[in-house]
Amino acid sequence: MRYNKLGRTGLFVSELCLGTMTFGGGDDMWGKIGQLGQDEADALVRVAIDGGINFIDTANVYSNGRSEEITGQAIRNLGLKREEIVVATKAFGEMGAGPNARGASRYHLIDACKASLKRLQLDHIDLYQIHGFDPATPIEETLRALDTLVQHGHVRYIGISNWAAWQIVKALGESARLGLHRFASLQAYYTIASRDLEREIVPALLSEEVGLMVWSPLAGGFLSGKYDRADESKTDGRRATFDFPPIDKDRGYAIIDVMRPIAEAHGVSVAQIALAWLLHQKAVSSVIVGAKRPDQLTDNLAATKVELSSDDLAKLGETSALPAEYPGWMFERQGEYRRTLLEKMR
């Protein structure tokens, strides 16, 4: 297991992060993703820690707070040293009735953070993330609320999830202008089958030194190896009941066709190749992996040992590359001469 700096901070996080969306369950969307109780969750956390993971991610909306409760209790049940784990959670989604029981306002965030701390049984959250962009709340208000939480010791670092590049850069500018704590990371959807992030967001993250946490790295199970073009009638797996995130399946099957022989050559699963590809991407700080069973998590952990060759990366890159889009193709055309000069310097 390698450990990467989270953005511009001095915090090191494991390249794989344990996601807890499968903890809790219920009759809604979360129940379709997972229904793990305390004992099952404890077993997964144990496997993660033994595998070198020091990073755990949850959110207050997962099973309406139950995931946070189970995560916090697992830390206690396993006797984990608080100073050796990095705990991340998120706020934004609906946590009650009324218009103010959601969003990124000061009104909501202060209370949401305190509620998360209680559920997690912790005195501080290492990484507190805004789970989505709130069009009703000025960015400055959100930043000042988060800065208050940091100043009071409730939160160590702050981040966002599912924001656009312009929103991230605007927030960083406001933080610098106002002297407030800046966002350390973005949590976003990114897979070899869905590389949209590379158009605007990845360049922004690299330019501004913001870390990237990847959610759903196997595209909701599509890249697990269970699915292929020859048998689209699969009825098991998460996508059978919850077909999310959206994916161009024809394009996805073409990528899987290239991944299978590479996986066979390395003696690993297709899922491990999908994870290993992400771990080879410069912008990625940590990849969030969730599981329902210890053997699934063990398989994911093994991806850290897969070293893709330059030939492997070229094949995977070619078949999964995004189609050219303006202004990207104009950057390539107009910047070629200056880019060549830079390469000669190296």
d(CA 269, CA 163): 32
CA dist 295 to 43, 68, 180, 224, 238, Å?
Answer: 11, 23, 43, 13, 16
Q: CB-based contacts of 183: which residues, under 8 Å, 6+ apart? A: 7, 158, 159, 160, 168, 171, 172, 175, 210
d(CA 338, CA 112): 49
Smallest CA-to-CA distance from 161 within 201, 106, 208 is with 201
Question: Is 189 a catalytic site residue?
Answer: no
Which two three-digit tokens encode residue 323? 């189609």
Identified catalytic residue from 62, 128, 157, 189:
62
User: What is residue 90's three-state secondary structure?
Assistant: strand
Report DSSP state, residue 302.
Answer: G
Report DSSP state, residue 199.
Answer: T
User: Which amino acids are annotated catalytic?
Assistant: 62
